[in-house]
Chain A
Amino acid sequence: EVQLVESGGGQVQPGGSLRLSCATSGFTFRDYVIHWVRQAPGKGLEWVSGLRGSDGRTYYAASVKGRSIISRDNSEDTVHLQISRLTVDDTGVYYCARDGNPYVPGCFQYWGQGALVTVSS
Chain B
Amino acid sequence: GMTQFPPTLSVSPGERATLSCRADQGIGSNLAWYQQKPGQAPRLLIYAASTRATGIPARFSGSGSGTEFTLTITGLQSEDSAVYYCQQYNHWPPGTFGQGTKVEIK
Residues of A at under 8 Å CB distance from B? 44-47, 50, 59-62, 95, 100, 104-109, 111-114
The residues of A that contact B97 with a CB separation of less than 8 Å are 44-47
From B53, B93, B100, A61 is in contact (CB under 8 Å) with B93
Q: Of all chain A residues, which has the CB nearest B31?
A: A107
The residues of A that contact B69 with a CB separation of less than 8 Å are none
From B42, B53, B92, A45 is in contact (CB under 8 Å) with B42
Residues of B at under 8 Å CB distance from A? 30, 32, 34, 36, 41-44, 47, 53, 85, 87, 89, 92-100
**CB of A32 to closest CB in B, whole Å:** 13
Q: Please report the C-alpha to C-alpha distance between residue A109 and residue B44 in the assembled complex, in whole angstroms.
A: 6
From B43, B95, B98, B99, A47 is in contact (CB under 8 Å) with B95
The residues of A that contact B99 with a CB separation of less than 8 Å are 44
Q: Of all chain A residues, which has the CB nearest B85?
A: A45
Query: Does B41 lie within 8 Å of A112, measured CB to CB?
Result: yes
Q: Please report the C-alpha to C-alpha distance between residue A52 and residue B42 in the assembled complex, in whole angstroms.
A: 22
Query: Does A106 lie within 8 Å of B95, measured CB to CB?
Result: yes
Can you name 22 A-B residue pairings with CB atoms under 8 Å?
A44-B100, A45-B34, A45-B42, A45-B85, A47-B93, A47-B96, A47-B97, A50-B93, A95-B41, A100-B47, A104-B30, A105-B92, A106-B89, A106-B93, A107-B30, A107-B44, A107-B87, A107-B89, A108-B44, A109-B47, A109-B53, A111-B41
Q: Please report the C-alpha to C-alpha distance between residue A27 and residue B91 in the assembled complex, in whole angstroms.
A: 26
**Most A CB within 10 A of own CB, among B34, B53, B94:** B94
Query: Does B98 lie within 8 Å of A105, measured CB to CB?
Result: no
From B36, B87, B89, A104 is in contact (CB under 8 Å) with B89
**CB of B81 to closest CB in A, whole Å:** 17
Q: Please report the C-alpha to C-alpha distance between residue A95 and residue B43 in the assembled complex, in whole angstroms.
A: 12
Q: Of all chain B residues, which has the CB nearest A114?
A: B41
Query: Does A100 lie within 8 Å of B53, measured CB to CB?
Result: yes
